[in-house]
Chain A
Amino acid sequence: MHELSVAQALVEQIDGIVRAHGAEAAASFRVRIGPLSGVVPELLAAAFGLAAAGSAAAQATMELLEAPVRVRCQTCGAETGAAMNRLLCGACGDWHTQLISGDELILESVELRMPVTAAQ
């Protein structure tokens, strides 16, 4: 249920970008989310609809890039995929790994609709 808090922060961020660029509104935006961020993309999308009502992001569509869970083994150096609750090296099985992908919660880009005069 904390996705609503995340959605509200996201709407504020997009609103700020729309204002800073003198745009009319946000047409779309792209987020990259990994499962270990603790945010469920489907719930975020639903919460975004509520949080964005009346804002410059109200009509914006969300493009989702799902970040896979991947680890780098500190023992054998292999980079492998992993399950979010078993971050073991896929090559040697060691648990001394570093997460290299899977905890992202990033707003990557926003596509803005500019006023027609400004675009010409």
Chain B
Amino acid sequence: MCDTCGCNLTPGNRTFAYKPVEPGATTVSVLQNLLKKNDDQAAHNRAHFDARGILAVNLMSSPGSGKTALLEATIARLKNEFGIAVIEGDLETENDAMRIRAQGVPAHQIVTGTACHLDAHLVHDALHQMSLEGVDILFIENVGNLVCPASFDLGQHLNVTLLSVTEGDDKPAKYPVMFRAADAMLLTKTDLLAVLDDFDPARAASHLRNLASEAPVMQLSARKGLGMEAWLQWLREQLAAQRARVAIGQSRRPAIQQDGQKLHSASI
């Protein structure tokens, strides 16, 4: 948005930008996102990815819903097809990065200490410590948390939100900010559905639709290898779409931000 010529003022917000002021005081119209600095850094990261034709996918979920297991199973099936790299975010330990490296692909661990989410600057620092040579898909495994990570753009093209069947099928209704941000929702650990009588995949999908989301819902079990092909095919299609965008100089932001873009550039 332009903050120099005032073209970001609309009939809806003009009254907030100007008001009578006391002598010795002056009011400055800003109309910027509170996280502008993070968003600028995220745009820079996204430009890095686009320049190399990389598809960046941000994985978000509760702790323990199977993000790392999904990555292990995904890498095992795709590493001969594509170059893959992973950025891991955790409060402590290098454990997840070690699990990914054991699959034979590069992984960089971000240890956030007490921070409950990754931000664009942490991801940028990580990018400078790893080689993106030959990488087609970069997975960013966010800190396990259904609240905070949803508010920070990292420069990814897609958000994938996991919901394991050992959690409630009403999680999308309880955490709408997170699930509204999803470009795809994965129901994980579905091999356990046989012994769980209180998780209904159709109900989980219905709660997601109530957030006005058209995101695909896929069911899989990374451990048992169930339902993996639909997820892998979706990734292949998304990489092809990314390459097609890059070829014509375009990029993509996760669904939620596209919405926000439309909203905040609303016609004057």
- Which A positions have Cβ atoms within 8 angstroms of B? 1-2, 5-6, 9-10, 12-13, 17, 21, 23, 27, 30-32, 36-39, 65, 71, 84-88, 95-101, 103-114, 116, 119
Contacts and interface: CB of A to CB of B under 8 A. Distances in A.
Contact of A108 (B16, B148, B177): B16
Contacts of B117: 2, 5
B30 A110 contact: yes
Given A9-B37, A36-B176, A110-B27, A103 B260 contact: yes
Given A6-B35, A106-B31, A116-B24, 13 more contacts: A6-B34, A9-B35, A9-B37, A13-B34, A17-B30, A23-B26, A65-B16, A99-B259, A103-B259, A103-B260, A104-B264, A113-B25, A119-B23
B89 to A, nearest CB: 13
Given A2-B147, A86-B210, A37 B30 contact: no
Given A1-B148, A101-B263, A109 B29 contact: yes
A78 B73 CA distance: 45
Q: Lowest 7 CB-CB distances: which A-B pairs, in order?
A: A2-B148, A38-B177, A85-B176, A87-B212, A38-B151, A119-B24, A97-B212
Contacts of A71: 212
Contacts of B13: 32, 108
Nearest to B1: A106
B262 A108 contact: no
A13 B210 contact: no
A95 B209 contact: yes
Interface in B1-46: 13, 16-19, 21, 23-38
A95 B119 CA distance: 31
Nearest to A103: B260
B163 to A, nearest CB: 14
Interface in B35-91: 35-38
Q: Name the residue in A6, A31, A106 with the highest tally of chain B Cβ atoms < 10 Å from its Cβ.
A: A106
B177 A87 contact: no
A114 B25 contact: yes
Contacts of B119: 5
14 contacts: A2-B117, A5-B119, A10-B34, A13-B37, A17-B28, A84-B177, A87-B210, A100-B263, A103-B256, A105-B151, A106-B32, A108-B30, A109-B17, A109-B28
B32 A107 contact: yes
B211 interface: yes
Contact of B34 (A99, A103, A106, A113): A106
Among B151, B207, B212, the most chain A Cβ lie within 10 Å of the Cβ of B212
A36 B180 contact: yes
B9 to A, nearest CB: 10
Interface string B161-191: 0000000000011101110100000000000
B100 interface: no
Nearest to A65: B16
Contacts of A112: 25-28
Could you say which of B17, B26, B33 has the most chain A C-beta atoms within 10 Å of its C-beta?
B26
Nearest to A1: B116
Nearest to B208: A95
| Most A-side CB within 10 Å, residue of B151, B173, B262 | B151
A101 B260 CA distance: 9
A98 B262 contact: yes
Nearest to A30: B16
